[in-house]
Homo-oligomer: A and B are copies of this chain.
Amino acid sequence: MTIREIAQLCEIECTSMDENVISGINTLKDAQKGEISFLSDSKYEKDLSTTNASAVLLPSNKSYLLPKNVVALISDEPYLMVAKLSKYFSKPIQNSSIKPIIGVNTTVYPTAHIENGAKIGSDCIIMSGVYVGTDVVIGDNVILYPNVCVYRDCVIGSNVMIHAGTVVGSDGFGYAHTKKGEHIKLYQNGNVVIEDDVEIGANTTIDCAVFGSTLIKHGTKIDNLIQIGHNCVVGEHCIMVSQSGLAGSTTLGRNVVMGGQSATAGHLNIAAFTTLAARSGVTKSITEAGVYSGFPLMEHKLWLKLQAKLAKILQS
């Protein structure tokens, strides 16, 4: 798709009528020559002047910030335009003709489905009903219990155990919204990377990144029925207890513990060695390790004090 065709699709006036071919969408920071990018949040303005993108969708009053060789595609709704475009750059479910490579001493049950382009290491057990998508890479000594599903392009390290029914790499929940109130899907082109020595429970869901990777670092243990949103980073040796959830783009430092049914909002940073009690709800980043409770969140000591005060009010 050329820049000109993109401009036409987005109903954007484009003086350059550029015939250069665009091969993908990416963030301002990560875009390479031949990719298109966009500015939808002012906090990324700083990346405009250094972007390597060939074209950028952005409002007219920001176009002056772009390098001279980058085509400005002017739109009041750049995020909506990117969503509309994303469909054309989304990867198909199957597009490899390379037969899967399966390591020595690896068992694949007959009803598992391994797509072309996948590589599975040695000493693995891929149980019944498992799906391993196109170009997935799996290390050694991995157990995927029945009906685990790994979407295309995901990467799983060694000594990983994923329990039944868990989904790795499903689409992140990302939409642009039209003025009429419709939601236009932002096709998710990233993946999930799971490092070594991770265990994941049953019926948990980990969404792939919009661009780049959702990352589960070395040694982390994740329980059942947990939601991890797109572009999250879960640090080394974290513990996430059942029914907890991370909204998109939140980062946990190493050795964070999240109690049952706790959750965080999106785009937060949680300091290493933080403990979030069961049911706690985090709406702001945590810069200092400690034990936190409640919703809104507070130090656990304060939460206990608040409950004591409420008990007194109740008796009054």
**A105 CB to nearest B CB, Å:** 14
A147 to B295, CA, bound (A): 35
Let me know if A278 and B265 touch, CB within 8 A: yes
Let me know if B295 and A305 touch, CB within 8 A: no
Query: Is A167 an interface residue when CB atoms closer than 8 A count as contact?
Result: yes
Q: A113-B111, A129-B129, A202-B167 are in contact. Are A260 and B245 (CB under 8 A)?
A: yes
Stretch at the interface among A38-46, A168-176, A284-292: A168-176
Per-position 1/0 for A112-154, Cβ under 8 A of B: 0100000000000101110100000000000101110101000
Chain B residue numbers with a CB within 8 Å of A221 are: 173, 175, 183, 185
A225 to B229, CA, bound (A): 12
Interface residues of A in 150-182 (CB under 8 A from B): 151, 161, 163-165, 167, 170-171, 173, 175, 181-182
**A102 CB to nearest B CB, Å:** 17
Per-position 1/0 for A178-194, Cβ under 8 A of B: 00011101000000000
Let me know if B163 and A165 touch, CB within 8 A: no
Stretch at the interface among A6-14, A20-28, A69-77, A308-316: A308-316
Report which residue of A93, A247, A260 has the largest number of chain B beta carbons within 10 angstroms of its beta carbon: A260
Query: Is A17 an interface residue when CB atoms closer than 8 A count as contact?
Result: no
Chain B residue numbers with a CB within 8 Å of A147 are: 129, 131, 146-147, 149, 165
Residue of B nearest to A314 (CB): B306
Total chain A interface residues with beta-carbon distance under 8 A:
71
**A117 CB to nearest B CB, Å:** 15
A239 to B185, CA, bound (A): 12
Let me know if B203 and A205 touch, CB within 8 A: yes
A51 to B101, CA, bound (A): 51
Query: Is A78 an interface residue when CB atoms closer than 8 A count as contact?
Result: no
Let me know if B243 and A245 touch, CB within 8 A: yes
Interface residues of A in 233-280 (CB under 8 A from B): 237, 239, 241-243, 245, 247, 254-255, 260-261, 263, 265, 278-279
A316 to B309, CA, bound (A): 9
Q: Which 10 pairs from chain A and chain B are nearest by CB?
A: A113-B128, A131-B146, A149-B164, A170-B202, A167-B202, A205-B224, A227-B242, A202-B205, A164-B167, A163-B170
Cβ contacts A to B, 9 pairs, < 8 Å: A111-B113, A128-B129, A149-B164, A171-B199, A185-B199, A201-B205, A203-B225, A224-B227, A225-B225
Chain B residue numbers with a CB within 8 Å of A110 are: 113
11 additional A-B residue pairs with CB within 8 Å, beyond A170-B201, A173-B223: A111-B111, A113-B128, A165-B167, A181-B254, A182-B219, A201-B205, A201-B207, A227-B243, A263-B279, A279-B295, A309-B316
